[in-house]
Structure 1
Amino acid sequence: MNQAVFFRGVRDVRVGPYNLREGRPGETLIEVAAVGICGSDLHYYKDGGIGAAQVGDAFVPGHEFGGYLAEDVPERGLRRGALVAVDPNGSCGTCEWCREGFGNLCPTVEFIGAPPFDGAMASKIWVPAKQIVPLPETFTPLDAVMLEPLGVAIHAVDLARPRLLEPVALLGAGPIGLLILQLLKVAGAGAVDVVEPLAHRRDAALALGARAAFASVADLATGGGVNGRPLVVEATNSPHGFRDAVLAAKIGGRVVLTGIPDGDSYTLPAADPRRRGLGIKFVRRMGDDYPRAIELVASGRVDVRAVVTHQAPLAAAPDLFAALADNRPGYLKALLLPNG
């Protein structure tokens, strides 16, 4: 029997039977091997939605996933049983943003796992064959799952454009922040100081190459040895994330905002970013970044496995969502194994 995770309301997660729909032309069936619980999934869980994307009754989340082909995909040269990742971004390909290469900004995107499009926290899922991502034979389901969040981190660092040996302040050491930390080092940035209120996340940041880790922006200012950073990358879920990023930046600096704030709202005084003359960019999902993500993982330059702390069967979803939402010690990235 096909099983799935359902959101029935705010902080109401249940696991039960799932009626798999019929496949459509151009789709292929995937047996889901692993699916990650993303920060956006936690916003759906805690807030019931993000902006216009509101969760209805019996919504199935999950957009970070990998699985095994349940049938041959001859048009892609893939055989049944192959482990693949799936790009959840089904952009239209014809609007002005898609034509300009910004499929991540497509206003009519059909994004797997974003309301109203059910996701991959299920035993099986039909996906467009064009969105399948072939993988090296050395990859595991965990590696497949982590390519999507790594793609988001790549997009954030592309927007940040760190200069050689430039000092950076990174706000937030959750899964995306820890991936960004590694990428900043790959890209040639200088010392990366991390701000993160949770002790176990600070420890993870230090283990992955941060120069120092502080509990607050105030601690960064007093203990970091410099007056503001030329580059600040924010990857938190805090309504104060934008404000804190501004306060961590030096005059004329750059700020890249990656996180989605709880309640879908920022709080900050307008004068601070204006008087600093800051350049500010927002991260929206990712571009065509799977090839680089695969190369970074395959070469060992980014350790995605170090970010994953929990893997559990689908039945554990209610507890895992609660643990992550409540910031229980020791939890970073959690994966569900629908057929494990």
Structure 2
Amino acid sequence: MSNALFLHAAHDARVAPFNLREGRPGETLLDVASVGLCGSDLHYYKDGGIGSATIKAPFVPGHEFGGWLTEDIGELGLRRGALVAVDPNKACGHCAYCHAGHANLCPNVEFIGAPPFDGAMTQRIWVPRSQIVALPEGFTPLDAVMLEPLGVAIHAVDLAKPRLLERVALLGCGPIGLLILQVLKAAGAGEVLAVDPLEHRRAMAQRLGADRAGTSLADIQAWTEGEGASLVIEATNSPLGFRDAILSARIGGRVVLVGIPDGDTYTLPAADARRRALKIKFSRRMGEVYPRAIALVAAGKVDVASLVTHRVGLEEAAEAFRRHAADTPGVIKTLIYPNGVDAAAA
């Protein structure tokens, strides 16, 4: 019997014994090394769900994770004890979206850590071998965890198609926003104007390469003398994020929406979007980006470690959810180590 962090309903997170299910054909068992507390996990905690994915029974969250193999996997050339990452998105492989190369849009997906599918905030988990991602020598549990959110950032920048030295407005400097910032710089973007209401996030954005960091839409408008930016990427949890992205964009500009708003509702001025003739894209999960994510971390072009401000054991996980929900100063990213922080460092 192992333990796990369960979400029972909004603002109801508890650690309790977890009955590990039996493995299925094509699966392998991992000892969880570390798991990230993601913004979507936080939405389940704060709102009780995201759209139609609601908590109907207690479930275990956690889709950003890495673990140690409990057996050899010959077809992947991996030995027992190897540290691996996991792509949480198990698409059906048969629908029109999968056949078109858009597995991230599969409507039949079984997504690890989204209800009703239990995730990795537990000590052991069964995962499909097809979703295991081999890691280079020297990668740590932290690196393994951060590949998934970095993949989300890469996918968002792929959709944005930043032009060489183009000025970009970035709304939101949480973990995803800070990863997008670094990927933008690696992709050759020019001046990045970042805004976030939290001072410690603004400071981190400047440390990681933002050219300017302000508190709100008003700063973007002032810096661009009212014209707006040709490319805006929104990565907030605010119901006003869509509105602010529109008002940050110049006429004929492009907007990519990455964030999930609290309450699952946007508020926006339709006339401003229409009169600007904006090109708007919504970003969902990621495509086949793990090789690039690994390469960016291995080459030191993206600093994932600086984003991790807190590391806790499973017994502190519920408190970690409360800290994030309260926007506690100094908190950017928390990693949970279900088998102990010391075990993960060994």
Work out whether residues 32 and 123 of structure 1, in 8 Å CA contact, stay in contact via their aligned partners in 2: yes
Mapped to 2, the partners of 1:258 and 1:154 lie a distance apart of: 11
* Aligned equivalent of 1:220: 220
Cα deviation, 1:82-132, whole Å, max 9, x if unaligned, reads: 000000000011111001100000000001001111100000000001100
What's the offset of the Cα at 1:269?
Answer: 1.4
Aligned alpha-carbon RMSD (Å):
0.8
- Secondary structure, in 3 states, of the residue corresponding to 2:284? coil
Stretches of 4+ moved more than 6 A in 1?
none
* Aligned equivalent of 1:320: 320
Mapped to 1, the partners of 2:119 and 2:18 lie a distance apart of: 12
- Secondary structure, in 3 states, of the residue corresponding to 1:31? strand
Work out whether residues 69 and 83 of structure 1, in 8 Å CA contact, stay in contact via their aligned partners in 2: yes
Cα deviation, 1:58-86, whole Å, max 9, x if unaligned, reads: 21000000010011112222111000000
What's the offset of the Cα at 1:224?
Answer: 4.4
- Secondary structure, in 3 states, of the residue corresponding to 2:164? coil
Mapped to 2, the partners of 1:42 and 1:235 lie a distance apart of: 14
* Aligned equivalent of 2:245: 245
* Aligned equivalent of 2:49: 49
* Aligned equivalent of 1:147: 147
Cα deviation, 1:159-182, whole Å, max 9, x if unaligned, reads: 000001000000000000000000
* Aligned equivalent of 1:201: 201
- Secondary structure, in 3 states, of the residue corresponding to 2:285? coil
* Aligned equivalent of 2:254: 254
What's the offset of the Cα at 1:55?
Answer: 1.1
What's the offset of the Cα at 1:225?
Answer: 4.6
Q: 5+ residue gaps in structure 2?
A: 341-346
Q: Share of identical aligned residues, percent?
A: 68
TM-score (norm 1): 0.99
What's the offset of the Cα at 1:219?
Answer: 2.3
- Secondary structure, in 3 states, of the residue corresponding to 1:181? helix
Mapped to 2, the partners of 1:189 and 1:7 lie a distance apart of: 39
- Secondary structure, in 3 states, of the residue corresponding to 1:7? strand
Mapped to 2, the partners of 1:286 and 1:115 lie a distance apart of: 19
- Secondary structure, in 3 states, of the residue corresponding to 2:150? helix
What's the offset of the Cα at 1:212?
Answer: 0.7
Cα deviation, 1:188-242, whole Å, max 9, x if unaligned, reads: 0000010111111000000001011111101221244562000000000000000
Q: 5+ residue gaps in structure 1?
A: none
Mapped to 1, the partners of 2:158 and 2:222 lie a distance apart of: 29
What's the offset of the Cα at 1:57?
Answer: 2.4
**Worse-matched range after superposition: 230-239 or 219-228:** 219-228
- Secondary structure, in 3 states, of the residue corresponding to 1:13? strand
- Secondary structure, in 3 states, of the residue corresponding to 1:227? coil
Amino acid in the other structure paired with 1:192: V
- Secondary structure, in 3 states, of the residue corresponding to 2:157? helix
Cα deviation, 1:127-148, whole Å, max 9, x if unaligned, reads: 0011000001110000000000
Amino acid in the other structure paired with 2:133: V
Work out whether residues 160 and 255 of structure 1, in 8 Å CA contact, stay in contact via their aligned partners in 2: yes
* Aligned equivalent of 2:7: 7
Work out whether residues 230 and 252 of structure 1, in 8 Å CA contact, stay in contact via their aligned partners in 2: yes
Work out whether residues 193 and 224 of structure 1, in 8 Å CA contact, stay in contact via their aligned partners in 2: no
* Aligned equivalent of 1:230: 230
Mapped to 2, the partners of 1:155 and 1:43 lie a distance apart of: 21
* Aligned equivalent of 1:280: 280
What's the offset of the Cα at 1:30?
Answer: 0.4
